[in-house]
Amino acid sequence: MELVEQLRRNLKETLRFIKERVTGTVDIGIILGSGLGGLVDEVENAKSFTYDELPHFPRPTTEGHFGNLVIGTLAGKRVAVMQGRFHYYEGYTSAGISYPVRVLHGLGVKTMIVTCAAGGLNRDFSQGDIMAIRDHINMMPANPLVGANDNEIGPRFLDMTEAYKSEYLTLAHRVSEAEGIPLKEGVYVGLLGPAYETPAEIKYYSTMADAVGMSTVPEVLIARHAGLDVLGFAVITNVSGGQHKVSHEEVITAAQKSSESLIRLIIKVLEKM
Which one of 215, 258, 259, 261 is the catalytic residue?
Answer: 215
Q: Is 144 helix (H, G, I), strand (E, B) or coil?
A: coil
Which one of 89, 201, 204, 273 is the catalytic residue?
Answer: 89
Report the alpha-carbon angle 197-260-109, nearest 5.
80
Establish whether 200 is a catalytic residue.
no
Establish whether 219 is a catalytic residue.
no
Which one of 201, 204, 248, 250 is the catalytic residue?
Answer: 248
In this structure, the number of other CB atoms found within 10 A of the CB of residue 187 comes to 18
Which one of 51, 82, 87, 205 is the catalytic residue?
Answer: 87
Establish whether 238 is a catalytic residue.
yes
Which one of 238, 258, 259, 261 is the catalytic residue?
Answer: 238
Which one of 51, 65, 82, 140 is the catalytic residue?
Answer: 65
Helix 217-225 to helix 94-106 angle (10° resolution) is: 50
Strands of the chain (E only): list them: 28-32, 44-50, 68-74, 77-83, 111-120, 130-138, 184-190, 211-213, 229-238
Establish whether 122 is a catalytic residue.
no
Which one of 80, 82, 112, 117 is the catalytic residue?
Answer: 117
Establish whether 89 is a catalytic residue.
yes
Establish whether 68 is a catalytic residue.
no
Establish whether 117 is a catalytic residue.
yes
Which one of 209, 214, 234, 255 is the catalytic residue?
Answer: 214
Report the alpha-carbon angle 164-266-113, nearest 5.
35
Establish whether 126 is a catalytic residue.
no
| Interatomic CA distance for residues 157 and 5, integer angstroms | 20
The set of residues, in sequence order, having a beta carbon less than 8 Å from that of 108 and lying 6+ positions away, is 25, 26, 27
Establish whether 258 is a catalytic residue.
no
Establish whether 112 is a catalytic residue.
no
The set of residues, in sequence order, having a beta carbon less than 8 Å from that of 4 and lying 6+ positions away, is 148, 149, 150
Which one of 68, 80, 90, 99 is the catalytic residue?
Answer: 90
Q: Catalytic residues, which ones? A: 34, 65, 87, 89-90, 117, 214-215, 238, 248
